[in-house]
Amino acid sequence: MIRVDEKGFYGKFGGAYIPEMLHPNIEELRDNYESIVASEEFQQEFQLLLRDFVGRPTPLYFASRLSETFGAKIYLKREDLCHTGAHKVNNTIGQIILAKKLGKKRIIAETGAGQHGVATATVCALMGMDCTVYMGELDIERQRPNVERMKILGAKVVPATSGSRTLKDATNEAMRQWINNPVDTHYIIGSVVGPHPYPEMVARFQSVISEEMKWQLKEKEGRENPDLVIACVGGGSNAAGAFYHYYNTPDVRLIAAEAAGLGISSGKSAATTVLGTPGILHGSKTILMQTEDGQVVEPHSISAGLDYPGIGPVHAHLFDIGRGEFVAVEDEDAMQAGILLSRTEGIIPAIETAHAIHALNMIEYRKDDVVVINLSGRGDKDLETYIKWGGY
């Protein structure tokens, strides 16, 4: 049975490895989160906003031309149709309601591709809360449209200028700020990473994805379970949401597509399960890319949302016990898969999602297997990268 224990561990991975100064913040969250989220008042507000603000349920779309191309029955779970353009808003809605009930007045967040930053800025505008988003300087350059969206929504965007100037460094900056402002501030982590209870909490808010998939498949296929679920994994929140209700259904294969960057052995990769070893990253024990003396290795991916040097502890556990099948997709292959989807189905995917599309070329499946690919976000934010890559 795959589930988190009371200390926040999935098997060997998880927990809360945090500095003493962060204990009050985490303990307040851990002591109150379960009872607040389980309350009828919370659930009513959460479900209402998911329906009327986010636009759920998102469609489960049968991709007929893509299915012909690969010889399987391929459905796309259209998280790209969520308000703000990606699955990220499912989590930020849940966390902003939680923050409000905890009496917080200020929100901080980190972002890589910018989708979580936009989703956080959006819910802060909705609830009238002050919002600061930390974003790597490099990511600010390559995800300019999302930076402008955050500013229009009223958020302050602060560049992280240390290290690789990407998601890891933005997370470091956000955690430092939270330590210095524990009383009035809530940190909305955007993925299934960080100290307990964050990985489980984010996965729970994202589990609406697989919850909908079950009844939608029942309507379309006469059964709740697909043969395969495929999702991209950086930290892994969209994958956690897509896998959540299938963790303990061994007949459903769970396929996670990581970013191999310029190649596994190139030194420019983010293929954590291939290159990583167990260690501590951002407050939890997981698998991460690190040197022999424990220094984090800088990741690389053409997609700003996948260049994270680790994976969430739930995914580390799935990999460790063999429940999840992990493939590493190179930049070039992901870009080609993004164009393929654009030209067969008229859907331009986020480059993160394009990694999941290419995974179909790397795994074996039977003809007419029912495959659900979680289309985690739309490609609007990546148009410049697509144009530069393809010379359009």
- Catalytic positions are 88, 110, 376
Task: Return the bridge partners of 135, or none.
Answer: 111, 159
- Inter-residue contact 182 to 217 (CB < 8 Å): no
Half-sphere exposure of 332 (CA within 13 A, CB side): 3
Kindly give the pairing relationship between strand 253-261 and strand 228-232: parallel
Phi, psi of 346 (to 5 degrees): 70, 30
Closest by CA position to 16, among listed 25, 24, 7: 7
Phi, psi of 135 (to 5 degrees): -145, 135
- Inter-residue contact 236 to 54 (CB < 8 Å): no
Report the 10 Å Cβ neighbour count for 5.
Answer: 12
Residue 134: which H helix or E strand, with range? strand 130-136
Coil, strand or helix at 278: strand
- Inter-residue contact 146 to 113 (CB < 8 Å): yes
- Inter-residue contact 322 to 254 (CB < 8 Å): no
Coil, strand or helix at 89: helix
Coil, strand or helix at 176: helix
Long-range pairs, 271-280, Cβ under 8 A, ≥24: 271/328, 272/299, 272/308, 272/309, 272/310, 272/311, 273/311, 273/319, 273/326, 273/328, 274/326, 274/328, 276/309, 276/310, 276/311, 278/12, 278/13, 278/316, 280/17
Half-sphere exposure of 60 (CA within 13 A, CB side): 25
Coil, strand or helix at 324: strand
